[in-house]
Structure formats: structure tokens, C-alpha cells
Amino acid sequence: MRQKDFIKDKIMKKVLCIIMCIILLFGCAACGDANGKNQNSGSEGELKTFTPTAATRVTKFDDPNTVVICWGDSSTQGMAMPDGYTYPQHLQASIGSQYRVINAGVAEEATDAILSRANAIEFSLTNDVVFEKGEAQYSMDRYMFIATDIEFPISYMGFGNQLKISDVIIGGKPYKIEFQSGEKYDDGIYRLIRKDTSKALTIPAGTKVKFDYSSQYKKNHCNIILMGAYDSNQGAEVIIEKYRKLTATNENYIVIVPFHSTDYSKEFKEAFGDKALFMREYFMKEAHKDYGIELTRLDLACIRKGMIPGTYNYNENRGESLLNEKGNKILADQVYKKGVELGYWK
């Protein structure tokens, strides 16, 4: 009996030891959060977490129809980022319930397509749309909507972003529109849908097209603009003119100056003044200090070449046009601060 009691006692001690270790482990983790050591305070030698807060996932808005729209391509969409890590989601966490932040970024879109979705440049039909009597739907390929003077179509992925295209005005009349993807990129099909099928109808090529987002929001409080990487080889004047077309749609805006291509800081400062946000210099000179990041030798080499450090890029690739978790959080923080400075939010 003594031997059994001894074994039993030994087992109980091991179990108690394991339980105490678990309690201690969770207690330390809780203390770390309470003391702010795991937050992005910059007090540590390394930025330890960019975990999205609950506000990036579930927010009860004061008015869900009053929005801040983030326009852009894959950098805005957050390609390769897990849910909660895009810069619009981080921005939502900072803004809180004042406004609903909409991620209107679409991968692989050039700036002209982004502008057309924002109704900042005219789009029109490339071919006649013909409805037979009794026919409610008309199928067409993705090249059906083309920007005036520009041979570039709306990407089918525009149907998957948070500012979804479902209503379209053609020739001043409303239609519903749907998209069905195919096996290949160019196999996708648009379906234009009308209500009145009592008569045959032909909508001629060249008829003006406008996208209607009124069912999704009542007021666009602010536009935040980060144009496509596909335009990085164009001159400052061309890019700035495109930005101006979108800024003209709303007096409240923040222009994020392209930071992975040529340095356009001087030109953007002259064009947009305080409404321009200069991330290149901040990524190169200040971000690592503010967020407690230790730059590597490769990062320092990037800076010497006038590039943002790879530590902020997707897979830490130098020259990559996509930001990683760190980069997106830092970008969102700077957008938020700029909005406070301009009086857009508190």
C-alpha cells in the first residue's frame, strides 16, 4: 500500500505542477498585454505583434451609410494578407464607429479602371446591347465596359471588393449587373438585367455607363487614394492628373503618394499640399524608430538606394509593391493621423 500511495502522490504532484505551469503561462501573457509590452508602442527592440483588434472585425457604426472609401489596387485590397491585416481594416479600428471604412481595392487594376469604378472618368459600351422581347438578361464579356479614350476594362474582381458593383446606370436608366467567373481570366461573363421585358430594346455602343453605389451608402465622407502599381512607370504629371480626377469627386480626401516607384514627393506636395501623405520618407527614416524595429543590413542597403526597407514588404522582398503585416499597420496609422490633422475624424 505504501508503494501505491507513493506512486499516487508522485502522479498528483506532477499533475499539480503542470496545472501551475499553465496558469503561470497564461498569467504572464495577460500581464504582457496589460503592461503594453505586446502592443505597437515602440518601447521594445522588436515590433512583436500586428494582431487585428476586435474593432477590425465587428463594429457597430453610428451611421453605417456614411463611409470612408479606400480606392486602390492589390496594395489596398491587401493581397496575400489574412483577414484583419489590410490597411483599411487597421484604419477602421482606429476610426472606430464614426464612419464605416470600405476597402475598394481591386487587384490587377490600373488607375484608369479604378477611376472608372469611382465614376471619376467616363465609361461607355463598346458594343450594342440587344434585348429581345421577353428577354430579361443580356450576356457580355469583360471588355463590354471601356473607359473613354482608354483601352482598359473594369476588372471582374471589382465585383468581389467591399464596394460591390451591382447597380449600373446606362443611358440614364438603371440596370442590375452580375458577374459569373470562368475557368480562365478572360472567360468571365457579365449579365445585364432589366425589369421591363415587354418590348425589344437595343442600347447602342458608346452609350455612357455609370456605376450606382447609392444603395450601399448615403454619404461618402472621405476618399483615400493609393493608385495602382501598374502606373509606376508613368511620369508625375500623368499620375497627378489621374489623382486629381478622383479628388474632384469629394473635397475630403487623402492622397497617398506612390512609395514603391519613383519619388514624386515634390510634385505631389505642390499639387495636393497638406492632403498628400508621404510614406516613402517615413518608411525610410522614421517608422523603425516609432515602432521599435531593428533594421537589417539589407534594409539599410535599400535606404541607401532610395527604396523603402524590405522589412515592410510582402515576404520582405526589396522593391515589392505589396506591404506585409507591419507595413499595412504603419500605413493605416499614418492615414489615421493625417485624417486627424485634416479634421476628418477625431
Q: What is the DSSP string of 142-172?
A: TTSEEETT---BPPGGGGTSSS---EEEETT
pLDDT > 70? residue 155: no
Q: How high is the pLDDT of residue 67?
A: 95
What mean pLDDT do residues 320-326 have?
86
Q: How high is the pLDDT of residue 154?
A: 59
Q: How confident is the model at residue 163 (pLDDT cuts 50, 70, 90)?
A: confident
C-alpha closest to that of 323 among 85, 42, 90: 85
Q: What is the mean pLDDT of the chain?
A: 80
Q: Name the residue with higher pLDDT: 323 or 41.
A: 323
pLDDT > 50? residue 35: no
C-alpha cell at 323: 506591404
37: helix, coil or strand? coil
pLDDT > 80? residue 1: no
Q: How high is the pLDDT of residue 318?
A: 66
C-alpha closest to that of 81 among 314, 321, 258: 314
> Which CATH number fits the domain 54-117+215-342, given the four candidates 3.50.50.60, 2.20.140.10, 3.40.50.1110, 3.40.50.2300?
3.40.50.1110
pLDDT > 80? residue 85: yes
Q: How high is the pLDDT of residue 53?
A: 54
Q: How confident is the model at residue 29 (pLDDT cuts 50, 70, 90)?
A: very low
Q: How high is the pLDDT of residue 89?
A: 94
81: helix, coil or strand? coil
Cα–Cα dist 38/36, whole Å: 5
Q: Name the residue with higher pLDDT: 94 or 158.
A: 94
299: helix, coil or strand? helix
Q: So where are the chain's domains?
A: 54-117+215-342, 123-154+164-211
Share of residues in the chain with pLDDT > 90 (%): 45
In this prediction the pTM is 0.79
Amino acid letter, residue 286: E
Cβ neighbours of residue 241 closer than 8 Å, sequence gap 6 or more: none
Helices (H), 96-155: 111-117
pLDDT > 80? residue 142: no
C-alpha cell at 154: 473594369
Q: How high is the pLDDT of residue 130?
A: 95
C-alpha cell at 131: 434585348
pLDDT > 80? residue 217: yes
pLDDT in tens, 169-203: 999 999 998 877 767 656 678 889 999 999 999 99
C-alpha cell at 155: 476588372
pLDDT in tens, 270-306: 999 999 999 999 999 999 999 999 999 999 999 999 8
Other residues' Cβ atoms within 10 Å of the Cβ of residue 44: 16
Q: Which of 20-34, 127-141, 152-166 has the highest mean pLDDT?
A: 127-141
